[in-house]
Every structure is written in structure tokens, then in C-alpha cells.
Structure 1
Amino acid sequence: MKYKAIIFDRDGTLFNSLPVILRSFNYGIEPFTSKRPTDAEWFAAFGPDEQEVMGKFIPADKKPEAFKRFFEYYQGHFSEIQLYPHVREMLARVKQAVGKIALFTGGGRTSTEFCLREQKILYYFDVLITGDEVINPKPHPEGILKALQTLSVDAHEAMIVGDAGADILAGKDAGVTTVLARWGGAPPFDLPSRPDYIFNTVSAFEEFLFR
């Protein structure tokens, strides 16, 4: 295989989780604001970890309590979150062939380890880079560069797979191959930078990797 490392985004790429995450955010901030953000406003705020995302809509001193509420709801409704079809099999095959898999997400360490552990896929990942562990969130390439350094892999040997424009921008600035994952069924959006590849299904992406 051409690539020595693949870096995946979490939500909308591996997990069909966005509906639960949006409800968790709304539950988290409910006591601290009279105005519920629209889905579009939430999407625009994505990038940093959950506390910082919610902090864009509530007073700063309420962020820790809001996160407790967020995670309480997230845990309670995690049974509604599933891996996209064929993701588990794809990760197993990539792990065997490539050997090095990382995850770079705007989500925090607590929620990331929880969802990977609950779905029994945590052991596939050599490196986790979460939103509360970087100074500069997506679309800044810091998280990707940190993953590459930890994995001892050069940028031209690596790939980022994500469902958002921020993933593509981060990948371009890091110098890795960029893949837009369209299998989540999100509505089309304007991309700030054109990805190297676009795939509508996990199976098509897997076929590309192992052609």
C-alpha cells in the first residue's frame, strides 16, 4: 500500500453520531441560555473540544457544568450512535495492511475514548489527538502534524479522512493526502479547498486503498 499512516476524523466519518451530539450540546447549555442555537450555528462552531464549542453560546464560567450535562446526555443516548456500515471491517483491514492508524477529532479525550471503547475499536488506533490536546483546533494542521510526529511518518506517506471542510484544510496545510468522506449523507456544502479524493461509501474508499 502507498500510505504508511491513515488519520481519521471521528464524528460523521467513523460514527453516525451528529444527531445525538447536537442534542447533547443543546441539553448541555439549556440552563444557561434562553436561545437555542440552530444546527447551522452548531456546525459553524465545530473545531475545538466540546467545552469550547458550548462556550461560544454561554458564559465562560458555565462551561464545566455544561460539559457535565453534555456528557451525561451523550452517555445516556450512546446506544443510538453506530459505526457507519463496513467501518469496523475497514479499520481491521487497514490496521493489518498499514499498521499505523490515528484519530484527530475536535471532540475531547473523555468522549473520544468513551465512544471508541464502547464500540470496541479503541485498540485499532495508535494515536488519539483530541480537541482538548491542541492549542489550535481544525482547520489548523497542528493535530495532524502532532499525529505524524508521534507515528514517525512523513506527510507525503499519510492521509486524512474526514467529512468536513476543516478536515480538508487541515490536511492540505499539513501536506497529507486528503479524502472527503461523503458516506454520512450530509447535505452538500461549499468546500474551502478541494480534496484529493471524494468517496460516497466506505466500501469505495476501501477498494481505492487496496486496489
Structure 2
Amino acid sequence: MSTTPTLTTTSYAVLGLLAVRRWSTYELAQQMDRSLGRIWPRAQSKIYEEPKKLVRLGLAEASREAVGRRPRTVYGITPDGRQALASWLHVPGTGPALESEQLLQIFFADSGTRTDTLATLRAARAWADERNEDNLAAIEAYRAGTGPFPERTAQTMLVGGFLTEYYRLVASWAEWAAGIVEGWPEDPRAAQAPPTEMQRIDRRAHWPEQFGHE
């Protein structure tokens, strides 16, 4: 049985960072959290494993350097690593996977109370506001010319645009849902779905037609 390690999406994420510059494992873990944590969150323990695996596969190289009197190992991408990264980028990946405890609580709201549901919706709105504060700080940094890796602004902008729309969507949905739940009885089992809102969702579900899709 083969023991050759396989490349995961996280492997390619680390390769992508190594293509930007050389990093120590600590720096990689910090950068993964800072730049990719909102779109590809992973435990730091997994990040620490990846560079050595990439070295074994010949996709990264390790070298020793001194920081003051303290030596450390830094990792960089190899030509084979750049080729592997380019090959991965050539094939479109899978779409987003949505995971939300708050949505799960809304789905089962009929086992709780109207007050519980409103509290969850307020928390969802607060989450969107908080995340967008980080988003605004990043935008201001790039406006001021202090954003990291300015040579990659064209790529960063596209992801930032997605996150902006996502946070705005969550905030807008939370406000809309709270307005409906305000009209529920305290026992959600007796709540009714307003026909006008069902019709609104039906109309909005046909959004692909607005983009000329079949």
C-alpha cells in the first residue's frame, strides 16, 4: 500500500502562500489565519504539518536561518511546487460549503421560543457587523497604501468583494427574518409563513434569469 502523502486543498493553500514569499511554520500559521481564515479556516496543528509534507514531495524546500541568535527553519516553494500549484488552479474547485449554527437553530426554532429566535437573529446581525469591521479595516489599509502584498491587490480585491457581499447578505437577511419573527406568537409552533413573503422568495429564486442563464 502506498504511503505517499496526498495533496489536499489546504496543501495548495500553503503552496499558494509559499509562492508569495518564504515563511517559517509559525508565520505560515499566522498568515493562514489572517489572510485565509475567513474563506478556508483550519486548525493551526494542520498548518504546521503541511510544510514538511510538501518538502517530502519535492514541492517545497526548507532552509535554516538565524533570527538574532535563534535559528529557525523557513520554507519556500520549488519549481515543481509552482507547477503543482498551477495545475491545481487549472481545474475549477468545488463551490462554497455553508455551515452555520445560527441557521441550524432557526431551522429548529419551533422547539424553542420566539424570544430565543429573535436573540439568534440579533446575534447573526452582530456577527455580520463584527466581521465587516475587519473588512472595512482591510479596505482602509489598501486605500492608504499600507495593505500587505500590494502587488496582489487585484486578486485580494475579488475575494474582498465576495466577503463584502456575504456579510451584507447575512445582515440583510437577519433584519428581514427578525421583522417576520416579531409577528410570531411566543410559541413558534403556531407561527404562519406570510404568503407575500413566500411569493417574494419565489420571485427571488429566479435570479439566474436576470443573468441570462437558462
Please state which band the TM-score falls in when normalised by the shorter chain: under 0.3
User: 1 or 2, which has the higher helix percentage?
Assistant: 2
More strand by proportion, 1 or 2? Answer: 1
Q: Which has the higher contact order (CA 8 A, sep 6+)?
A: 1
User: Could you tell me the TM-score, scaled by structure 1's length?
Assistant: 0.22
Higher-Rg member (1/2): 2
TM-score under structure 2 normalisation? 0.22
